[in-house]
Amino acid sequence: MTMARCLVAFLIVSGNCAWAAQETTALRANPIRRVVTLLQNMQKKVEEEGEKEKKLFEKFMCYCKNGLGDLRDTVDAAEAKVPKVESGLAEAEAAKEQLDKDIGELKGGAGDAKATIAKAKGIREKEAAAFATDSADKKTNIAALKKAIAAIEAGAAGKFLQTSTSAATLQQLVINMDMSSSDRDMLTSFLSQGAGYAPQSGEVLGMLKQMLETMEKELNEITAAEEKAIKDFEALIAAKEKELNANTGAMEAKIERAAEVGLEIVEMKEDLDDTQKALIEDKKFLAELEKDCGTKEEEWNERCKIRAEELLAIGDTIKILNDDDALDLFKKTLPSPSLLQTQVTSAEVRQQALAALRVSKGDARLDFIALALRSKAPAVFEKVIGMIDDMVVLLQEEQVQDDEKKKYCEAELDKTEDEKKSLERKVDDLYKAQEEGKDTLATLGEEIEALADGIKALDKQVAEATENRKEENTEYKEEMGANVAAKKLMEMAKSRLAKFYSPKSAAASFASISLHGADGAAPPPPPETWGAYKKQTEEAGGILGMMQMMIADLEKEITESKTEEKNAQEEYETLIADSGEKRRMDSKSLSDKESAKADLEKALQQMAKEEKTTKFEVMATAETLKDLHLECDWLLNNFEARKEARSGEIDALKKAKAVLSGAD
């Protein structure tokens, strides 16, 4: 082959689909200059591609640098955070346990303080009752002693002794007093005599004054003891109430703190779980990113090496062709373009077709076509044209598949991202609902506790009211019995006195109190033995009037006692009815709130379970999204490039077919 034909073949390969007729026209100019120009264009194109790829590589490495740095910082922060959260969680759990223990101790202390207060109140009530009885007795005795002393000093001892109540009080006092037998006998004898007895009043008066002094001293002593007991009781109650208030305040503060610590524990557990899961994912992604970045850097170094070799080869070729000696040689060997052969052989057609197919590199199917094209069989062109047609159809089908895959990827990515966002919103909503539910649960717990305490307090009040009612009823019966007995006794005394001074009225009175004879008639008057006795009718009338007034007072007191008892019983029954209704309503409310609490606890458990399930769904969706990105990102990122490359291949195949179809 001549030098000119070799240059033409070289130009066909370098020009990428330069047709024979076009090359014939182009070679009318200096063919060497044309070759150099083409080489220079190749050099420029390689350099431009190098700059373009360098920008892409720098952008990728910037992403690697920033991404790896941020990811390493995230991993380091998570690895440092996990032990801190675990330590904080352990401390919080220990604090929660200690708070629960302290609350139990404070509850016990409060219960002890309440028990002590209740016991002290019971003792104080008994002491106060004993003091009231004892002081009342002593005051009565002192009053009697003072009257006796005043009467004796005034010389009216007989008149004093005729007052049976005062005399009887002093007699009882003398019996119970600690004194010698002779003194007791003397005083008893004195108090037992009538008006005509003339005792040794000076000695008796001295004894009575000594008794008065002793009695007043004892009264002062028990009064002082009672005042001291009241002060001690008030001091004890104040101290216990202060202790109780302190315990209650501390307990409320610790209960509130325990609730806060419990919430912190839940949050720390969730934070720890999230951090650990995120750490695993970040480490995995970091390893993959480090591997990808390292591989990409190796690929770039290799590409730079190949490109440098390519540029060196092109540069050396240009240098060779541009050399002055080479130009002189080419002028001698290539005198004019007319020497170029314009006919194209089958081998040259093959070379043109192969040049057209070299547009796309790396596709093995084109390599098979090129291999078939290199065959020298007579019917090879028809066979290659068939292969090219099949290849074009296949590439078009692949493009359709890519189009469908792109459409599928975009739709699935959008759908999966929407599902992930929806699930994440659901997790947030469930978390907020649980927080609100926990607040409601705490409120329900406080309300249930308040209702339970209220029912206990109500039961206690009802029990105390019942006990008070029993005591009041017992007191009423005792007082009523005493009043009725006193009334009957007073009526008997009045009838007895009236029998002597007013027989007619006495008979009616005796009949009314069943002191008449067996036949119902009043007893006959005594027989006359001496002259008429002068009765103390006038004085007796006054006494009978006084007795009648006392009987009327007793009747009035009996009526008032009955009325008070009736009112007290009605009030008690109303209290019991109202308390029963309130207890029923409170019990129903307690039952409803406990039911609501149970339902809420169940709902919170369900929400927690649903939140956990939803989080797993979020993770699964994120994994699906990741798989979709792994499956689709390369296609989506390279779709246009693939489409353009495939279009170039189809175009190259069609040009190769055109070359083969036009061959003679």
pLDDT at 279 over 80: yes
Specify whether the CB–CB gap between 543 and 497 falls below 8 A. yes
pLDDT at 100 over 80: yes
Residue 156: C-alpha distances to residues 174, 188, 194, 375 (Å)? 20, 18, 12, 171
Other Cβ atoms less than 10 A from the Cβ of 598: the count is 11
**pLDDT level of residue 473 (50, 70, 90 thresholds):** confident
Provide mean pLDDT across the span 243-251: 82
Other Cβ atoms less than 10 A from the Cβ of 216: the count is 16
For residue 434 the two structure tokens come to 């649980």
For residue 34 the two structure tokens come to 């044309």
Fill in the DSSP letter of residue 358. Answer: T
Q: What is the C-alpha radius of gyration for the chain, rounded to an integer number of angstroms?
A: 63
Structure confidence by residue, pLDDT tens digits, 46-96: 888 888 888 888 887 787 778 778 888 888 888 888 898 888 889 888 988
Alpha-helical segments (H) within 379-502: 380-501
Task: State the Cα–Cα distance between residues 234 and 226, nearest whole angstrom.
Answer: 12
Alpha-helical segments (H) within 31-176: 31-153, 157-161, 164-176
pLDDT at 3 over 80: no
| Selection from 34-38, 352-356, 597-601 with the highest mean pLDDT | 597-601
Specify whether the CB–CB gap between 213 and 222 falls below 8 A. no
Other Cβ atoms less than 10 A from the Cβ of 379: the count is 8
Q: E-strand spans in 532-655?
A: none
Dihedral over Cα of 320, 324, 329, 331: its sign: positive
Residue 599: C-alpha distances to residues 85, 342, 595 (Å)? 33, 98, 6
Provide mean pLDDT across the span 360-373: 59
Task: State the Cα–Cα distance between residues 268 and 422, nearest whole angstrom.
Answer: 25
pLDDT-wise least confident of 112-116, 378-382, 494-498, 516-520: 516-520
pLDDT-wise least confident of 168-172, 278-282, 517-521, 640-644: 517-521
CA geometry: angle 326, 43, 340, nearest 5 deg: 45
Task: State the Cα–Cα distance between residues 649 and 186, nearest whole angstrom.
Answer: 152
CA geometry: angle 590, 592, 597, nearest 5 deg: 90
pLDDT-wise least confident of 135-144, 170-179, 418-427: 170-179
Residue 204: C-alpha distances to residues 70, 167, 208 (Å)? 115, 14, 6
Residue 528: C-alpha distances to residues 70, 524, 531, 532, 533 (Å)? 140, 12, 8, 8, 10
The pLDDT value recorded for residue 375 is 54
**pLDDT level of residue 295 (50, 70, 90 thresholds):** confident
Q: What percent of the chain has pLDDT over 90?
A: 3
Residue ranges of domains in the chain: 18-341
**pLDDT level of residue 418 (50, 70, 90 thresholds):** very high
**pLDDT level of residue 220 (50, 70, 90 thresholds):** very high
DSSP 247-311: HHHHHHHHHHHHHHHHHHHHHHHHHHHHHHHHHHHHHHHHHHHHHHHHHHHHHHHHHHHHHHHHH
pTM: 0.33
